[in-house]
Chains A and B, each alone.
Chain A
């Protein structure tokens, strides 16, 4: 398969003027500013083939969003080369815009005070879509996402899940061949997350669309992507298939039990008890050795459980583990 994205030795440095403390520091900074340079992206190289679904993960400040911004053309790199569909993104931003769709989980591309329908109508003009193709595509996306009843509702009155579904529709209306998703499920409840993951997976598979996703939610990565690139401190730490990564690093869950008793003891293999406050027991469960439902069933059998929470380990922990493993 041909490469849709090709990146070689890409670097991005940000230069900041340091601010001194107090009045004298501020004056000194104004007269003779001292600059600090940060390597946001440090000589990364990779290729993404057409139809691949790739997750770029890493802790906050790792360089994920910077990479996505460079690839979508809204940021110039300091050095290196990148091509998307053979175009240099930051030089051919507007041409590239017709071929990519972008969803920022924390930013809206819809007009808040207007119904989503009006935003879609303007996007049709922005992307020079002919009316018939646009109508057909919109109808299909609206039916698939079940947002027919929401189209006349002002976006600002929608729930986050409803808005995110409309955001994804907006990013797909011009039939992009490549979809960049930056934290698309952030802040959503479990049902909304599942709906969005299912949609992205089905849609991308059905249309042969290439997907590049960043997320802090390991479930997004496991369920949507078939390859994972882990970035830490601007460098690629790991680039491997999701299955392989799952086997090595994503097989853990954190089960938190609130109980009347000061401590709960569960004698099962693959469980590590983490330090916690009294009446709270945090269990790190290795799902390759024991199933979470088995752990919960055992805990409930003993009685006195007041609350149960199941979470993925924080992305920072996962990346730290991957990073440590790659240096062994």
Chain B
């Protein structure tokens, strides 16, 4: 069967991967613009960060002053800054799992399947754009709080390490949430899976306390997990900034981004097969 229609206009056929990359960059930019467009929410998030950190910092200062420094030889006030870093990452990460769940459950996914580009990659790119916008705004709130608190601030080098590891750590969480959201193909509601991921970030990720506080064997497991790659390792730079730890952390994050991307692609592929067979 032949069509009488001429082929449609397309970009340079020799550079499909460049076009795909441009598409992802545009999606990321849209994610960032969309996040900034909802500035009242972003402002509220920044304010909530300040309130939460004021409470947590006071708690950790008291704990550190009374007991922890003797046991762990951490810098005074360092734990508060550690929690400031982990909370900054957590609060900057957009809830991609809710968007995926919504698209899958509502059937809106069909609209995206009608396009020639991979839906999941577009969604992740959009979310990473949103992550970049949020990390910038909440970093501003964190820096303001640090200035007002009169604490000893980390060195500029430590700040640079934290900025890079924080953003990449946020990407690890985005991928964890993406896999969670894709479970909607089978579970419809992903809240049970999300709660597990959230608790793992809390416990194995060291959201409120460094995982080095755990018994050795448990600390070892936690440190190697994707949850620690997302939170603990960026936070460590607030306690013990070093180039060696930075590269080790970045290496771990890159490995987890690779593994979680592969897992997300696998789950997406299985979910897509189900949808094409049974409908949304």
**B3:A114 contact, CB within 8 angstroms:** no
C-alpha gap A187/B173 in the complex (Å): 40
The segment from B42-50, B139-147, B271-279 found at the interface with A is: B271-279
Judged by DSSP, the binding face of A is loop
Which of chain B's residues 59-108 have a Cβ closer than 8 Å to chain A?
Answer: 107-108
Interface residue? A97 (CB, 8 A)? yes
C-alpha gap A89/B145 in the complex (Å): 56
C-alpha gap A177/B38 in the complex (Å): 37
**A99:B279 contact, CB within 8 angstroms:** no
Per-position 1/0 for A82-125, Cβ under 8 A of B: 01011000100111011110101001110101100010011001
**A121:B9 contact, CB within 8 angstroms:** no
Interface residue? B193 (CB, 8 A)? no
Which of chain A's residues 38-90 have a Cβ closer than 8 Å to chain B?
Answer: 50, 66, 69, 72-76, 83, 85-86, 90
The segment from B29-37, B211-219, B258-266 found at the interface with A is: B29-37
Q: Which residues of A contact B117 (CB under 8 A)?
A: 94, 125-126
Given the interface contacts A4-B3, A177-B5, does A125 sit within 8 Å of B10 by beta carbon?
no
How many pairs, one residue from A and one from B, have CB atoms within 8 Å of each other in the complex?
116
**A93:B113 contact, CB within 8 angstroms:** yes
Closest B residue to A40 by beta carbon equals B279
Interface residue? A191 (CB, 8 A)? no
Q: How large is the interface on B (under 10, 10 to 19, 20 to 34, 35 or more residues)?
A: 35 or more
**A113:B4 contact, CB within 8 angstroms:** no
**A74:B110 contact, CB within 8 angstroms:** yes
Distance in angstroms from B112 CB to nearest chain A CB is 8
Closest A residue to B4 by beta carbon equals A50
Given the interface contacts A74-B276, A129-B9, does A1 sit within 8 Å of B110 by beta carbon?
no
Residue from A1, A83, A118, A130 within 8 A of B4 (CB atoms): A1
Interface residue? A133 (CB, 8 A)? yes
Q: How large is the interface on A (under 10, 10 to 19, 20 to 34, 35 or more residues)?
A: 35 or more
Q: Which of A50, A95, A99, A126 has the most CB of B within 10 A?
A: A126
Residue from A3, A100, A102 within 8 A of B1 (CB atoms): A3
Interface residue? B55 (CB, 8 A)? no
Interface residue? B199 (CB, 8 A)? no
**B279:A14 contact, CB within 8 angstroms:** yes
Interface residue? A176 (CB, 8 A)? yes
Interface residue? B151 (CB, 8 A)? no
Distance in angstroms from A162 CB to nearest chain B CB is 19
C-alpha gap A50/B26 in the complex (Å): 34
Closest A residue to B280 by beta carbon equals A74
Q: Which residues of B contact A66 (CB under 8 A)?
A: 279
A-B contact pairs, 22 of them (CB 8 A): A2-B2, A4-B3, A6-B1, A14-B278, A69-B110, A74-B114, A75-B279, A76-B277, A85-B3, A94-B116, A98-B8, A99-B5, A107-B108, A108-B111, A114-B30, A114-B33, A121-B26, A125-B19, A126-B122, A175-B8, A208-B4, A208-B5
In order of increasing CB-CB distance, the 6 nearest A-B pairs are A125-B23, A177-B5, A97-B116, A128-B11, A86-B1, A94-B116
The interface of chain B, by Cβ under 8 A from chain A, is: 1-5, 8-11, 16, 19, 22-23, 26-27, 30, 33-34, 37-38, 107-108, 110-111, 113-117, 122, 275-279
